[in-house]
A and B are shown apart, each in its own frame.
Chain A
């Protein structure tokens, strides 16, 4: 896809480089925004603030549609393209693009993202209602699927962006689909060529950075995805879920404290036993939180006694004493021994 240097000099024009395409796009976005602003102003006057607030997305689509219909669709340059002097040619740089290609581009560029969003939403809704009466596990799995569909789309966009940075051919997916490429509208001088080469290299560096970034974002996803897949394979092949669960559990627990003795094996002080902590009078041996005889009576900094479990659970919620509201951090609760 590099400009063909050898035979290009005489008859064909140079393919435009990434920098010019980005610049043209920025200019166009700027103009689309101005158009959008004006349209919003007009509609606010006609239909009121509420209408424009509700239909922000639609208005921006309309303004884009109007702009591109008046430029690209009827075969004219957009202001951005004019600005950097590039124009649209077909895939092979052998001629102008056909009208239907331009139409596909304009529709894809304006309505595409909107439609994709709607589709995802629709899909989610349908799935949400469909799985509603199934068991919880199923709906969780469905959630994971939806998330992965969104990430797949994002991933596609990122890959597309990467390709642009390396090849400098198609800035949008809609341009790629409809096969719209850009060439510079004038012969390049040697110094200009050198500058463009330099620019292309900068873009390649940017591309590499982007590549690294995407790898770091998508690698963990890939990992969990493959784990899920393994899990599914396990369950479908008749093996018990426990095996794969333990696999996942082992991964999750790496780095946390191990060898904590099982709760049933450790010794508990239970106040239902009258010989335990005889100094606690009869009428205060019940925990006010669980209303039962205290198990492992523990003292808050203010002196109030609760079960160890009850008070530490509450401190996870709010760090104060349930009775007197004095500050009570979980690390300050002292179990009686």
Chain B
């Protein structure tokens, strides 16, 4: 306990101490964060070039749709199509040379759902486009660590139009 003679100035001292603590605390805080700010700036510029690359899990509703111009979508160098098991990617796309043969490597066929998610994780594209209703499966929780954005869409036609 402080000696009785100092009691009058105790409240002043408390105020002084508190102010000092806060000041030191904030400076320290700012110092640590200063190094991180640079990282944040980097991230900000990255997101401004919004979702440059896309990974699209094609499901039946999309693959059946006559409106989607696969050739145009695949011409984009930053797009990958993943075809899950039991989905038929329109044969017509291959047959009539609608899809340029040099783009066919961007279509990845999978025999298992685990394979689909492993491909998504490996590719690490900015945006993952899928229709989880159509897929009949939920997106694994850890996928968010491998893509910047997940677009879970009901109607893939509308989204895929933007890709062009």
Contact = CB atoms under 8 A, between A and B. Distances in A.
The yes or no verdict on A and B being binding partners is yes
Interface of A: 55, 58, 61-62, 65-66, 69-70, 73-77, 82, 96, 103
Contacts of B16: 74
Contacts of A58: 28, 32
Contact of B21 (A55, A66, A75): A66
A77 B1 contact: yes
A75 B13 CA distance: 8
Contacts of B32: 55, 58
Given A61-B28, A73-B21, 5 more contacts: A58-B32, A62-B28, A65-B24, A70-B21, A76-B1
B25 interface: yes
A178 B84 CA distance: 71
Given A55-B32, A58-B32, A74 B24 contact: no
B1 A65 contact: no
Contacts, number: 37
B20 interface: yes
Interface of B: 1-3, 6, 10, 13-14, 16-18, 20-21, 24-25, 28, 32
A165 to B, nearest CB: 30
Contacts of A61: 28
Nearest to A73: B17
B1 A74 contact: no
A77 B3 CA distance: 11
Contacts of B25: 62, 65-66
Contact of B3 (A66, A70, A96, A103): A96
Contacts of B1: 76-77, 82
Contacts of A74: 10, 13-14, 16-17
Nearest to B20: A69
B28 to A, nearest CB: 7
A76 B2 contact: yes
A96 B16 CA distance: 18
A246 to B, nearest CB: 51
14 contacts: A58-B28, A62-B25, A65-B25, A66-B21, A69-B18, A69-B24, A70-B18, A70-B21, A74-B14, A74-B17, A75-B6, A75-B10, A76-B1, A96-B3
